[in-house]
Structure 1
Amino acid sequence: MKREPVINSLQIINNHKLEILQKGRSGPLIVILTGMGCSFEEWYEVTEELRKTTQVLMYHRPGLGDSELGAEVRNTFATVQDLYELLHFLKVKEPIYLVGHSYGGLCAQHFVKVHPEMVAGMVLVDSTSVNVRELDELDLPVLNEESDEKWVLKCLEYASKEKEQLTSIIQPSLLEKHKQFPVDIQERLISFQCNPSLYKAMASEIQNWKKDAEIIKKLNELTNTPLVVIGRDKEHSILSDSEADIPEWELRTFEEKWEELIIQQGNLSENSDVIFAEGAGHSIFLNRPDVVVDSVLKITGK
C-alpha cells in the first residue's frame, strides 16, 4: 500500500466524514486509536519516528477534530465498525498492528476480538481495562466525587455552547510538551479543544464505556496474538497528582488498582509482555514516546 509520506484528508466512512492522518510510504501498517477526547496530533513525536520504517494510520472518531458527528450512539462497537470500514475503503489487505491508548485501548481490545484475523499484533498504552468497574468499587471519597454522571453533565453543557462561547469558558491551553511541536500542530490542538461536538461525542462514550467493557470481556480470547502492555509509572503519577488536594492514600489506592488492571491485561494473550514506562503519567506517548516506539517496533520486527 503505497502512500505519500503525510496525508491529512476527509473521507466518507459509514455515511459520515472522518478526518484521517496517514504517514509513511512502506512497511507494516500501524493503526493508532487515541484516548477519549484526545487529538491524533498529540502523537506527533511517536508518529514522526514510526513513519521512518512503517506506515501509520490515525483518524478522529466522529465528533473529534473535523470528523462529522452523526446521530448514532458512540461506543466501542461503533469504533470497531468505523475502523473496519476505513480499512476496507483504503483497500488494506495485510493484517494491521493496532495501538490503543486509554479508551482507545478499550476500542482496540473490542476490534481484535471481533476481527482477530485482521490484527498481527497489538500495543495497549495505559489502556482502560475491561474490569474498569473495579475502580468504582474503591472507597475513595474525594476521587469518587468526580463520577461519570458529573462528567457527562459537564460534557453536555459544553456541547450546548457555540464555539466562541466554549473557547471563552475553557480557555484552551497547551502542555509544555505540545509547545515543542510545530506551530501549525499547536494551533490545531488549541482548535480541537473548542469544538462543541467533541464534548457531545465524549458524553456518549462515557455513558457507554462500562457497558462496553462488560461486552468485550465476554468475547473470544486473543490466544497468541503478539501483545505489549505499557503502564504508567505509579509513583510518578502519585507525585504529579499530589498537588490537587487529593489525599495521598487515595491516590496510592487508585494507582495500585490501576497497576493491577494493567498487569491483568497481559493475560489477554499467551504471547505478551507487560512493561511500565518510568517517569510517565497517563499520556505515555508524550512523556516517554521512546517506550511506545520501541514497543511498536518490537511487535512488528522492524
Structure 2
Amino acid sequence: MRVIRRCLSLSHEKIEVIIKGKTGSPILIVSGMASSFDEWYELTEALSKSNRVIMFHRPGLGKSELCGTKRNTQKVVNEMVEIIHKLHITEPVTLVGHSYGGLCVQHFMKQYPEKVLGVVLVDSTSVDFGVLDELDLPVMNEDSTDDAWLQKCLSYSTMKTDEIKSLIEPIILTQKELSFPPEIQKRLLEFPLNPTLYKAMYFEISNWKHDAQVIKNMEVCPDLPLIVIGRDKEHCVSIGIREGLPETEITLLEDKWEQLIKEQIYLTKKSNLIFAKGSNHSVHLDRPDIIINSVRKIEAEIRSKGRKYEQTK
C-alpha cells in the first residue's frame, strides 16, 4: 500500500498531508480540534485498501505552517479546495469530519456540494453548539469555558516545548493507540508539545461560534448522502461519573449533545443516524468499524444509483 507524507505549498502556507492508497474514489478526512491525523492510523489503513485516503494537519498542527492570525472554518474550506486541486482530484470526494472537523465539513458541503460524493459526520460539533453554554454545569464549567480555554491556549502558545511538556506530562496514549507502530506512537506523543498548536486552537475557538452561525444560515444540501454518527450517551455518562463529575451535570450535557447530533440529520434529505455503542467522543478510536461501514454504505448507494441510471437510459 502506498503511503505518502508530504508538505503541500498552498497560497499562504505549507500544509502537512498524508495520502494512503493508490486507487478507488477519494476520501478526505478532517480531524478534530488539536487532534493529529495519526489517531486515524487503523481506520485509514483499512479504508486505503480500496480507496485513496487523504488527511491533513490544519495550519499550526503537526508540521503545517501557521502564517496568519485568523483561523476559521472558511479558511479550512479554502485549504480543502486547494488540497483537492493540488492533488489533481477532479471527481467528487467523500468527506469525513470529526468534532470541529465536522463543523468544517458542514461548511464545505454547503459551499461546494458539487465537489462532494457523500458525508460522514463523526460526533460532529453542531451549528447550535452554543446552547451548551446555557446548561447549568457549575463544576464542569469551572475550567472548561471558552474563556478558560482561550486563556490556556494563549499561555501555552508562548511557551517552549519543554515547558509545555512539564505541564501536560504524562501524555497517556489510549489502548488503541498503543497498538499502533512505534513511529506513529512517537508522533502522537510529540504532537501536543508544539506551541503553534495552541496558537491555532486560540484562533479556532475565538471564531467558532461566529462560524457556526454562518454555516447555519447557508442553504442545506438536500441531495447529498449523509450519515451522522454520535457517541454512546450512557457510556460517556458512566465515564464521567468514574472521573468524579456530578452525575446530574454529565447527564445534562450528554442529553443535550445527543439532541444536537440528532438534529444534524436535517442537513440533507438523504441521511441516516447511528449511535456508536461503547464509544466516547473519539469514535475513530473506539469504533472505527462504524465509520468504515458508513463510508462503504455511501459508496454502495452511489454505485447502486449509477447502475439504476444506466438501466433507465
Q: What band does the TM-score fall into relative to the shorter chain?
A: over 0.9
> Per-residue displacement from partner, 1:90-145 (whole Å, max 9, x unpaired)?
11100000000000000000011111100010000000000101111112211222
Q: Report the counterpart of residue 178 of structure 1 in structure 2.
A: 177
Structural mapping, 1:54-203, within 5 Å: 54-145=51-142, 146-171=144-169, 172-203=171-202
Is residue 19 of structure 1 aligned with residue 11 of structure 2? no
Matched with 2:306 is none
Task: Check whether the contact 2:69–2:203 (CA below 8 A) recurs between aligned residues.
Answer: no
Q: Conserved in 1, the CA contact under 8 Å of 2:20 and 2:54?
A: yes
Equivalents in 2 of 1:234, 1:115: separation in Å? 32
Alignment of 1:191-230 (within 5 A): 191-230=190-229
1:42 alignment counterpart: 39
| Structure 1 residue matching 2:164: 3-state secondary structure | helix
What is the deviation of 1:245?
Answer: 2.5
Q: Indicate the residue corresponding to 1:30 in structure 2.
A: 27
Query: 3-state DSSP class of the match of 1:255?
Result: helix
Equivalents in 2 of 1:265, 1:219: separation in Å?
14
CA distance in structure 1 between the aligned counterparts of 2:252 and 2:195, rounded to whole angstroms: 34
Shift of 1:147: 0.6
Q: Partners in 1 of 2:50 and 2:88 — Cα distance?
A: 20
Give the % identical residues: 49
- Aligned with 1:49: secondary structure? helix
d(CA) in 2 for partners of 1:265 and 1:222? 12
What is the TM-score normalised by the length of structure 2?
Answer: 0.94
Give the SS at the match of 2:110.
Answer: helix
**Counterpart of 2:221 in 1: which secondary structure?**
coil
1:151-201 superposed Cα distances (whole Å, 9 cap, x missing partner)? 011011111111122112211332222111000000000111100000110
Partners of 1:261 and 1:168 in 2: how far apart?
37
SS in structure 2 at match of 1:121 = strand
Aligned-pair distance for 1:11? 1.3
- Aligned residue identity for 2:48: R
Amino acid in the other structure paired with 1:288 = R
Residue identity opposite 1:60 in structure 2: H
Q: After TM superposition, give the deviation of residue 242 of structure 1 in Å.
A: 1.0
What is the count of residue pairs matched by the alignment? 299
Partner residue, 1:293: 292
Check if 1:280 corresponds to 2:273: no
Aligned counterparts of 1:229 and 1:178: Cα–Cα separation in 2 = 24
What runs of 5+ residues in structure 1 fail to find an aligned partner? none
* Matches of 2:85 and 2:47, distance apart in 1: 23
Give the structure 2 partner of residue 245 of structure 1.
Answer: 244
Structure 1 residue identity aligned to 2:176? K
Aligned match of 2:268: 269
2:147 partner letter = E
Give the alignment's Cα RMSD to 1 decimal: 1.1
SS in 1 for 2:42: helix
Match of 1:144, SS state, is: coil
- Counterparts of 2:30 and 2:203, CA distance in 1: 17
Once the two structures are TM-superposed, the CA of residue 231 in structure 1 deviates from its matched residue by 0.3
2:17 touches 2:54 (CA, 8 Å); kept in 1?
A: yes
In 2, Cα distance between the equivalents of 1:15 and 1:136?
A: 34
